[in-house]
Amino acid sequence: MYNIFFYETDIGTIGIRENGKYITNIYFSKFNTDDNIVETYLIKKGIMQINEYLQGKRNKFDLPLDLKGTEFQNKVWNELRNIPYGETRSYKDIAVAIGNENASRAIGMANNRNPIPIIIPCHRVVGSNGKLVGYAGGLDIKEKLLNIENVELKKGE
């Protein structure tokens, strides 16, 4: 059985879901669920680290994660974890890093399916022109996360 708890943060509602041993999901909205709505030790540890990150006091997460996805998705998500705090990579950069340089579009789809955003930093992936593109939590949240990390964003056309 899964446990979940929702919090109001500086970037809006965050839901953290865990299975008793690992964090399995982070959500950007509150919703009805059959999960146990309970604030467990692991969920508290997760929100504490996320809040520290949002306040600019943390640049690495130390949480047990359980990522469920295809082999390709897991390869992408693991590569995202290699993007240093305060830096970005393009979809093409990620494709090259995983040895599939023509997979930029598939990288975008894997990013969209990332079950643990913020901690698995898909917000650090930008268009090849350096501009913000796509984010499951919305571009406004992506921009806020990158601003926390002092990333210089390209504006305009």
The catalytic residue positions are 122
Phi then psi dihedrals of residue 146, to 5 deg: -70, -35
Question: What is the gyration radius of the CA atoms in the chain, in angstroms?
Answer: 15
Q: What's the DSSP call for residue 123?
A: G
Rounded (10°) CA dihedral 74, 16, 82, 127: 80
Cα 145 from Cα 26, distance rounded (Å): 15
Residue with tokens 């399916």: 113
Q: Are 147 and 92 in contact (CB under 8 A)?
A: no
On the 0-12 / 13-18 / 19+ scale of CB atoms within 10 A, 81 is middle
